[in-house]
Structure 1
Amino acid sequence: MSDRISQHASHCILCGKCLQVCPLLRATGREELGPRSKSDLCRVLAEDPGRLSEVDAARLAGLCLGCGRCREVCSQGQDVPGLVAALRGAHPNFRSWLWKTWLTRARQLWSPGSKAAGLIPERFRTEKLGPMLKMLAGMTGGPGLDPFLTPKTFPDTYRGERMLLFAGCTANYVQGRWLMAALRLLDGLGADILPDGFVCCGSGLKGAGFADEAGAMAERNVAVWREAGRPRVAVFCASCLAGLAAYDRFESDEERAQWAESLLPLSVAVRDIGFVISDNASERIGYHHPCHAGKGDPDRVFLRHALGDRLIAETDRECCGFGGVMRLAAPGLTEPVNRQCWDALRDADMVLSGCSACLAQLSATAPDRVKVGHWLETIG
């Protein structure tokens, strides 16, 4: 780990670009939580490991949202979230073990865990655990949103094309309505959806420091794609898409390029469908831009086109505050980040997004009057 930290941390030239985009720093005003401070501290660890105790290193490792915005703007290719993930891997604790268990046993834990959290009486929800329990209870999303977009005409762009669908853990285990909506759209487009054996994308484990487990998931998913004949892979979760795009388990550079080309955001595939908006559609819809969606954000492009003037609020710099394992390690630091997100969306009475993690966080923290859901839920 020391070689990796030294290699990356020494590249920082103190330009400060990362400080302008870090949502944790912007929300708290604490520069010691910013990317540059983490980079400096990692350099100290690499040069003199004895200057920082194991406890301090583990604490540092928990104080990063993993949004990747600093990595996007760094002219030196500095990967602070990667450095933090390495520290987390070197200094595991109970919270990281709990996070790993939650992700690797999603099939067994998510649905019953969500139901159990919803049964806990309000008086037993402590200040620290209350928001987490609400997020767990909301993972199933209740009845969901009332659809108001009806597809009427379909282009022939993908008709007859063999394709895989990467649904992701949330859609597979607790939000089946997303999966069914995606399948209906792809059926209307005439795509031939192949059976698959995909597992979790692994991005949540990678950010938490479990590189080996995440790598095994990447190898499995690439093998599924390879065995299917390397077809297109439709994806409707922004975080899953980013995780898949970051894979490095390929036989050659040519295959890596094929994989990158094969990844198809579902919102791109459905962009040319002719939709009719029903009368029950909200006139005040907000969109949350996931950190991992990148500048292009195909979900936002689709919704701007489909909703027109009904899309009255959007986030851009704001992070939802989910933060992965940091949600367990320091929930108090994620709350001001979340508040800034809702400040940007305050005029909306419905908020849509395309990231399962963001939706879990936003559903748990939404004002009483605001409905939250995946954009797939709007399609009937």
Structure 2
Amino acid sequence: MRNVRAMTSDCILCGKCLEVCPLINATQREELGPRAKAELYAMLSEDESLLVAEDAARLASLCLGCHRCKKVCSKGVDVPGLVAALRGAHPNFKSWLWKTWLTNAKSLWGKSATAAKLIPEEFRPDKFGPFLKMLAGLKGGPGLTPFLQPDSFPDTYRGEKMLLFAGCTANYVQGRWLMTALRLLDGLGVEVLPGDFQCCGGGLKGAGFAEEAGVMAKHNVDVWRKAGKPKVVTFCASCRSSLTGYDQFRDEAERGDWAESLVPLSSLLQDVVVSASNDAPESLGYHRPCHVDAMDSDYTFLKAALDDRLTVDTRKECCGFGGLMKLGAPELSTKVNTVCWDRLAGAEIVVTGCSACATQLAATAPENVSVGHWLELLQ
């Protein structure tokens, strides 16, 4: 990464990062925006005595890690990366708690969700209340009632061998997503290879634990190598974004092979003929995850399958999950989430293609609105 001061001094004040920052959109406070964070980080990098531990922890919490600013910056400033570095340099109890939760997903997530449900809302601490509510809804209930039936599959991928990267949420608490994904791949005639993938590491990297995230990345790349470098199918936008950002490769050619191997499940389904049952809801909303790629094949697939039933979708609104920010600045997370729900008003059901977004939206959904991954719509 180039010198931080050089990056910020080269800023041409185009305002693109201000236009896309969900924090500014929700609060109208420009001091929470990307440029302010980059300038402050540059100043503190030159004189660490200006920053006490409490200030560092607070500053590090004020970023959703959505990477929208990075995507539009013509000067290549990676503000989420700067914030992650600050988090790594000044860890605190909340970052330790987040790390523990992520690195022990298999043993903790199901139990944590069950335990959180037992705590009445009035007894949840102010700072941890939103996080506990999210935990309580992690498992969800029975899920959405499926109403989309795949009628026919193309032969495009029949006989091809692929790996499936399901992600921690599907592996440990939302098994129905994994089962539906496997059924769809079977319908396509894909042979799913065995692969013991670990967490994508994105949540850890954003929280400042780059070393731990790197170990996971190296393991996952090794799994791909040993399988013969096949396609890696994903159905979580955030996982795919994290996988795309890996740098544990032997050379640039292998990096390119890895990037080309990452395939959203929905992109394989574009030619699948789907029909809706008679009891299908009339109004559905789609939440576009911050980390989805420009093509957003999830939306393309859903729009074709749902047609006029897809009545509303988010464009620039973030769900407010924010990773570590959910613990460090829950009041800001709530404001961002409120803007998102304002945009989705009127939908009976809201679906998304990101496990973190699905969890956050399910925990904050208005009464009589159901939330789930789009996989839950398919029989």
User: Is the shorter-chain TM-score for this pair beyond 0.5, marking a shared fold?
Assistant: yes
Q: Secondary structure at the match of 1:373?
A: strand
Give the aligned partner of residue 322 of structure 1: 321
Q: How many residues are paired up?
A: 379
Give the aligned partner of residue 102 of structure 1: 101
Give the aligned partner of residue 147 of structure 1: 146
Give the aligned partner of residue 165 of structure 1: 164
Give the aligned partner of residue 364 of structure 2: 365
CA offsets, 1:26-58, max 9 Å, x none? 111111110010011011122232233333222
Give the aligned partner of residue 277 of structure 1: 276
Give the aligned partner of residue 51 of structure 2: 52
Rounded to whole Å, the distance in 2 between the matches of 1:64 and 1:35 is: 8
Q: Secondary structure at the match of 2:122?
A: helix
Is 1:136 the counterpart of 2:122? The answer is no
Out of 11-20 and 277-286, give the one that drifted further: 11-20
Aligned-CA RMSD value? 1.4
Question: Is contact 2:204–2:212 with CA below 8 Å preserved after alignment?
Answer: yes
CA offsets, 1:131-164, max 9 Å, x none? 2222111111110001001111000111000100
Is 1:348 the counterpart of 2:347? The answer is yes
User: How many Å apart are 1:107 and its aligned residue?
Assistant: 0.3
1:53 maps to amino acid: V
Question: Is contact 1:8–1:79 with CA below 8 Å preserved after alignment?
Answer: no
Give the aligned partner of residue 75 of structure 1: 74
Give the aligned partner of residue 249 of structure 1: 248
Q: Secondary structure at the match of 2:137?
A: helix
Is 1:229 the counterpart of 2:228? The answer is yes
User: How many Å apart are 1:237 and its aligned residue?
Assistant: 0.3
Question: Is contact 1:14–1:36 with CA below 8 Å preserved after alignment?
Answer: no
Rounded to whole Å, the distance in 2 between the matches of 1:301 and 1:256 is: 27
Distance change (3 Å), C-alpha of 1:50 and 1:129: closer
Rounded to whole Å, the distance in 1 between the matches of 2:93 and 2:340 is: 29
Give the aligned partner of residue 26 of structure 2: 27
Give the aligned partner of residue 37 of structure 2: 38
TM (norm. structure 1) is 0.97
Rounded to whole Å, the distance in 1 between the matches of 2:288 and 2:365 is: 16
Rounded to whole Å, the distance in 2 between the matches of 1:126 and 1:217 is: 33
Question: Is contact 2:7–2:75 with CA below 8 Å preserved after alignment?
Answer: no
Question: Is contact 1:11–1:78 with CA below 8 Å preserved after alignment?
Answer: no
Rounded to whole Å, the distance in 1 between the matches of 2:277 and 2:170 is: 25
Rounded to whole Å, the distance in 1 between the matches of 2:79 and 2:127 is: 27
Give the aligned partner of residue 335 of structure 1: 334
Is 1:14 the counterpart of 2:10? The answer is no
Out of 271-280 and 77-86, give the one that drifted further: 271-280
Give the aligned partner of residue 267 of structure 1: 266
CA offsets, 1:305-337, max 9 Å, x none? 111000000000100000000000010011110
Question: Is contact 1:12–1:39 with CA below 8 Å preserved after alignment?
Answer: no
Question: Gapped runs of 5+ residues in structure 1?
Answer: none
Question: Is contact 2:127–2:327 with CA below 8 Å preserved after alignment?
Answer: no
Question: Is contact 1:291–1:319 with CA below 8 Å preserved after alignment?
Answer: yes
Q: Secondary structure at the match of 2:291?
A: helix
User: How many Å apart are 1:13 and its aligned residue?
Assistant: 3.4
Give the aligned partner of residue 123 of structure 1: 122
Give the aligned partner of residue 87 of structure 1: 86
Rounded to whole Å, the distance in 2 between the matches of 1:248 and 1:7 is: 24
Rounded to whole Å, the distance in 2 between the matches of 1:230 and 1:4 is: 36
User: How many Å apart are 1:369 and its aligned residue?
Assistant: 0.9
Give the aligned partner of residue 292 of structure 1: 291
Q: Secondary structure at the match of 1:346?
A: coil
User: How many Å apart are 1:9 and its aligned residue?
Assistant: 4.3
Rounded to whole Å, the distance in 2 between the matches of 1:75 and 1:91 is: 29
